């Protein structure tokens, strides 16, 4: 089950309002796909500088396992306010808790109109197709 308190991009990023800013992360499915279910296989995460302004859909970083690499795309544009630096050295956080402690960046969203994104049910539907 994926949390219903946020929106999803088809490329597996989630975004969630947290006060008047928004957190962005990736779904448990994406983590499992990358790591093959083996948390030790997650090896590298490249996150943007604070202050960078992202456009919707823009690639803001990369995440790597030993055998795969995934682009991180901004589901919604906005200025990067904070980066979860603890992730870079402790990728297991991403495997253990992708929905909360495993957030990647905090942005000031340029819009709160997230109509282009998927809700939890629709996102789960796309996962069923890929399985």
Partner 1 sequence: MPYIQNTDADRSAMLAAIGVRTLDDLFEQIPEELRLKRPLDLPAGLSELELKELLSERASWNSRGEQGSFLGGGVYRHFTPAVVDALQGRQEFVTAYTPYQPEASQGTLTAFFEFQTMIAELTGMEVANASMYDGASAAVEAVFLAAAVRRGRRKVVVSAALHPHSLRTLRTSLAWTELELVSAPLDESGRTRFDDCVDADTCAVLVQNPNFLGVIEDLDQVAACATEVQALPIASVYPTSLGLLRPPGDAGFAVVVGDGQGLGLPQALGGPSFGIFAVRQEFVRRMPGRIVGETVDRAGRRGFVLTFQTREQHIRREKATSNICTNNALAALRGAIYLAAAGPQGLAEVAHHCHAKATYAAQAIAALPGFSLPHGTDAFFNEFLVRCPVPAAQVNRALDKCGLIGGLEVAQVCTTPDALGLDEHHLLLACTETTSRMSIDRLLATLAELAPRTGAAGSDDASRPTTHQEA
Partner 2 sequence: MNPDLLLFEKSSPGRRTLRLGALDVPQPDLTRLPAGALRLAPPALPEIGELDLVRHYTRLSKKNMSIVDSFYPLGSCTMKYNPVLHEEAAALPGFTDIHPWQDAGRLQGALAILRDLERDFAEISGLPCVSLHPAAGAQGELASLLVARAYFAERGEGERTTVLIPDSAHGTNPASAAVAGMRAVTVVSAADGGVDLDDLKTKVGADTAVFMITNPSTLGLFEERIAEIADIIHDAGGLIYMDGANLNAIMGITRPGDFGADMMHINVHKTFATPHGGGGPGAGPICVTEALGPYLPLPRIVEDENRLRLSEEAPDSIGMLRGWAGNFSVLLRAWCYLRRLGPEGIRRVSENAVLNANYLRARLRERWHVPFDRLCMHEFVANTRFQREAGVHAIDVAKRLIDLGHHPPTIYFPLVVPEALMMEPTETETRETLDSFVEDMLRIADECDQTPELVKQAPTTTPVSRLDEGRAVKQPVLRFRAE
Which window, 10-18, 61-69, 95-103, 123-131, contacts partner 1 (CB under 8 A)?
Answer: 61-69
CB 11 within 8 A of CB 73: yes
Query: Is 43 near partner 2 (CB under 8 A)?
Result: yes
Query: Is 10 near partner 2 (CB under 8 A)?
Result: no
Residue 22: phi and psi, rounded to 5, are -130, 145
Which window, 20-28, 67-75, 78-86, 101-109, contacts partner 1 (CB under 8 A)?
Answer: 67-75
Residues lying near partner 1 in the complex (CB under 8 A) are found at 43-44, 64-69
């Amino acid at each position: 089950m994926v949390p219903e308190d946020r929106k999803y991009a088809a490329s597996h990023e989630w975004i969630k309002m947290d006060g008047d800013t928004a957190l962005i992360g990736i779904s448990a499915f994406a983590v499992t796909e990358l790591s093959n279910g083996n948390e030790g296989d997650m090896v590298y995460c490249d996150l943007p500088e604070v202050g960078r302004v992202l456009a919707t859909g823009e690639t803001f970083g990369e995440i790597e396992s030993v055998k795969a690499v995934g682009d991180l795309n901004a589901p919604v544009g906005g200025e990067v306010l904070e980066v979860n630096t603890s992730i870079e050295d402790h990728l297991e956080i991403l495997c253990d808790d992708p929905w909360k402690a495993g957030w990647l960046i905090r942005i000031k969203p340029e819009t709160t109109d997230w109509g282009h994104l998927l809700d939890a049910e629709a996102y789960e539907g796309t996962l069923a197709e890929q399985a």
